[in-house]
Chains A and B, each alone.
Chain A
């Protein structure tokens, strides 16, 4: 199966992975909820530098002696931000794809789907040494820009979800869809809460909680020296001795994240790196559909 994570891992580029995922998604959709863009007139807007000159309504100019730009329905299409946590912890992999690989593939696939239905997609790569931002555009060529930005992305530094929240609220000033891909491992216990405040600004926030199988199941047996991936902390432990406690902690963490998202009416999707990604997307889209 092409979309098996192990098989997907063999595809070297994000683009190929994204395409493979999207194809899986498209073949899995029975009826597309996106029927193409509308070209009907929606409203006038006073011209501002940067607006398309070809959209100036000359009739309105004749009436009011002011430049007005015509806005069409398609221009009210979704503005989407794909935010990817690229901290060092995201580069963890127990087998096959790392969490970052999975986040990139899913992000690219989403971008593809959005661009395909004329939505504007932007990218925000969150990392400790500064975020990389690509503003949303609906142009077909824009997808290539996003995929190139995701290509070869490496996890570095610590997770700063609070900073990401600030950045996103700055960039997504009006209603936008935000797709966050992160393991949510943040030192700040209120980081997720800060992120979820994006909902207060009418943004549509979807959290893809990406976790490795080993992080969820803790399958280690032998005496192990666990090393932090973001700082110099370490802990030697006999995994069998702490497994029960670890699993309890992890379950509380996942349940807590899901609960907080639900409280803020945000979508929460737990993504295991060992599950087929098209299924993840289909599951997500199906839930979205049910929510409408």
Chain B
């Protein structure tokens, strides 16, 4: 096996190795004669020390000579000569160097990122090019400018390779090769060559589209493709990754409890056991679990955490780091619902507590763990209350309100407050329609009695809820047996509604005769839900059913606009993030995970943050009503694309079939069979340091 040198000029320095011999000879000649009376002692001392001195001198001579040999050879950067050097006998070839910067290139192999190896290989390949080969460097980032035409400025090409930076996005190398081919088309040299430094992961190639070709004066030609395998010919690059994170509320566990479901994929032939998965909120680990993942399989692990208060929380779920660290964490930003302030307006108060119209509603909303903070007012004492101070207003069997209060209520709802309306014997449809008609999803028509309450057979003849929209966020918690608690409710009397236009009105539940039981509409920014019966036991036994408490709490959350905030968005790196700045917010700025300040852009009338190249949490600051503040509601998290986690590599035969028979693969950087763990030059330098100390030791003795 021969050697080649990166800096052969330094080899001239090996001539210095003759220096110890020259100095030795010079010193012999230079010896100063000195008549000395005690010559006998000198002679005897020489005789005594001769053997030891001869050995010491020999060792010193060897150490010095080897030291002076090792340093220039190390500086010349030797490496084993490759059989696949680029020089081709066919003459000059226009060359494009393409470096893969996709996320998978951050994979650490033997302590080095694949991208570093790829860059080193690209630099080496550049150095190996014949002087008459024009070259251009192509980067694959979508936002990169079009590549230059091949030229002879090697320094510029070297700088361009040095400047190639790691990204966290997937890359379409096929499209990148097409760009490279286009750049090569600008060269008049007929031979074309593409040097592609990549980890050969299948996710980066699209082999279903035609291979890149170049239009030349001699027709369409396929470029010679030289694959610089940064993976060093490894048969596989084992990786374990969190490929998906689902964050959703866990109301069955506790209010404000969330469950974090991690999908962990094992892209290796070895099963992984006892992998530690941690859940971090902010910088604090709040939950931890262990998980086994079968070889080439996936496992879902669920971690649960109850947030202490409402608000915006950011964090991450993490696995113990492996060679590809970027996909071992997934970030999230959760908007935990805040407490809902509710005003219950009781239209039918009663001195006996459980006969009071509001008894069941207040008990349900005030139950331990409820997000609702209810306040009870009789309908005729509501004048002192400001509806704008509440997230939700519940009108329970209210006959009427003062006109000013009705207008105030309409305004509050239009501005986003929720309104829940239940009916009863106090409600006069005409009067009610007149007062609250604008707020109601549909107008009241008349009262229908399915069966007289407490009459014989009332249970069987009573109306039941059917056609319940269990997809609705407020009703989605009812699954399996829990639905029985809702469907078993009996309603004896209820209001029929006038027909109305469809559109913004949705029926959440109907009775078995098709009449609406729960109907939802919108008024301005606010939501309105109308329940067509009573929330005490006068017309219905629903208040004593198990479904009453959870449904009322969820309806309260839905109407107050806190349930829908629970949807956790998934933004991938590089995707623009549309933003909805709160009213009055201005000067919004984001801090990237690295701390860089980024400004959102206006695109087609929408506010968008386009620079989301890094995975992590993006935090917003801004001014609201002129006051600088954190704008937490705009915070969001960005995660890597799981497609980059699968490091399955393409087979050389597949690539040859795709790019053509001229395709070659080199594996010099970290090739398992060729390259030593430590470069030869650094071993030489280490040896030189050792020799230096040996020399010092010998010379001192």
CA distance A234 to B42 in the complex (A): 9
- A223 and B28: CB pair below 8 A? yes
Residue A212 is within 8 A (CB to CB) of chain B in the complex:
yes
Residue-by-residue, is B24-64 near A (CB-CB < 8 Å gives 1, otherwise 0)? 00011011111111111111111011000100100000000
Q: Of A90, A212, A223, A228, which one neighbours B39 at CB under 8 angstroms?
A: A228
Other-chain contact of A99, B27, B37, B49 (Cβ < 8 Å):
B37
- Contact code string A247-279 (vs B, CB < 8 Å = 1, else 0): 011100100000000000000000000000000
How many residue-residue contacts, CB under 8 A, span A and B?
A: 85
Chain A: CB-nearest residue to B36: A226
The range of chain A's interface size is 20 to 34
Contact B35 A229 (CB under 8 A): yes
Nearest CB of chain A from residue B342's CB, rounded to whole Å: 99
Q: Please state if B37 and A237 are interface contacts (CB–CB under 8 Å).
A: no
Q: Which of A90, A223, A246 contacts B42 (CB 8 A)?
A: A246
A214, A229, A242: the one contacting B45 at CB < 8 Å is A242
B32 touches A253 (CB 8 A): no
- How many Å from the CB of A150 to the closest CB on chain B? 20
Is A51's beta carbon under 8 Å from chain B? no
Known: A222-B32, A225-B31, A229-B36. A249 touches B41 (CB 8 A): yes
Contact between A224 and B32, CB atoms less than 8 A apart: yes
List B contacts of A92 (CB < 8 A).
35-37
CB distance from A194 to the nearest CB of B (A): 18
Docked CA distance A103–B36 (Å): 18
The A interface, classified by DSSP as helix, strand, loop or mixed, is: mixed
Nearest CB to that of B53 among chain A residues?
A: A241
Of A220, A241, A242, A249, which is within 8 A of B34 by CB? A220
Residue of B nearest to A88 (CB): B37
Tell me the minimal C-beta distance from A235 to chain B in angstroms.
Answer: 5
Select from chain B the residue with minimum beta-carbon distance to A220: B34
Contacts of B44 in A (CB 8 A): 245, 249
Specify which of B34, B44, B45 lies most central, judged by the most chain A CB atoms within 10 Å of its CB: B45
Task: Give the distance in Å from the alpha carbon of A253 to the alpha carbon of B35 in the complex.
Answer: 20
B446 to chain A, nearest CB (A): 124
Residues on B with C-beta less than 8 A from A235 are 39, 42-43, 46
Give chain B residues whose Cβ lies under 8 Å from the Cβ of A208. Answer: none
What residues on A are CB-neighbors of B53 within 8 Å? 241-242
Q: How far is the CA of A86 from the CA of B39 in the complex (A)?
A: 17
Most buried by B among A222, A227, A228, A253: A228
Between B37, B39, B45, the greatest number of chain A beta carbons within 10 A of the residue's beta carbon is seen for B37
Instruction: Tell whether A233 is near chain B: CB-to-CB under 8 Å.
Output: yes
Known contacts A242-B49, A245-B45, A245-B49: A185-B32 contact under CB 8 Å: no
Do residues A245 and B48 form an inter-chain contact, with CB atoms below 8 A?
yes
Q: How far is the CA of A246 from the CA of B41 in the complex (A)?
A: 6
Contacts of B39 in A (CB 8 A): 226-229, 233-235
| A229 to B34 CA separation, bound complex (whole angstroms) | 10
Contacts of A220 in B (CB 8 A): 34
Q: Which of A227, A236, A241 contacts B28 (CB 8 A)?
A: A236
- Which B602-640 residues have a C-beta within 8 angstroms of A? none
Interface centre among B27, B36, B39, B56, by most A CB within 10 Å? Answer: B36
Which residue of A is nearest B32, CB measured?
Answer: A224
Contacts of A90 in B (CB 8 A): 37
Which residues of chain A come closer than 8 Å to B42, judged between CB atoms? 226, 235, 237, 242, 246
Q: Which residues of A contact B28 (CB under 8 A)?
A: 223, 236
Whether A206 sits at the interface, judged by CB under 8 Å, is no
Question: Given that A99-B37, A185-B38 are known contacts, is A223 also in contact with B43, CB under 8 Å in the complex?
Answer: no
Q: Could you tell me the distance in whole angstroms from the C-beta of A183 to the nearest C-beta in chain B?
A: 6
Asked whether A89 is an interface residue with its Cβ less than 8 Å from the other chain, the reply is yes
Asked whether, in the complex, the Cβ of A226 is within 8 Å of the Cβ of B34, the reply is: yes
> Which B residues are in CB contact (< 8 Å) with A227?
33-36, 39
In the complex, chain A residues 165-217 whose Cβ is within 8 Å of any chain B Cβ:
183, 185, 212, 214-215
A222 CA / B46 CA spacing, docked (Å): 15
Chain A residues in 8 Å Cβ range of B35: 92, 226-229
A-B contacts besides A224-B33, A246-B42, A253-B41, 9 pairs, CB < 8 Å: A185-B40, A226-B36, A227-B33, A241-B56, A242-B45, A246-B41, A249-B48, A250-B38, A250-B41
| Residues of A bordering B, CB below 8 Å | 89-90, 92, 99, 183, 185, 212, 214-215, 220, 222-229, 233-237, 241-242, 245-246, 248-250, 253
Q: Which residues of B contact A (CB under 8 A)?
A: 27-28, 30-46, 48-49, 53, 56
List 8 tightest A-B contacts by C-beta distance, closest first: A245-B45, A89-B37, A92-B37, A242-B45, A246-B45, A228-B39, A225-B31, A225-B33
| 14 A-B pairs whose Cβ atoms sit less than 8 Å apart in the complex | A215-B37, A223-B27, A223-B31, A224-B33, A226-B39, A227-B33, A227-B34, A227-B39, A235-B42, A235-B43, A242-B46, A245-B49, A249-B44, A249-B48
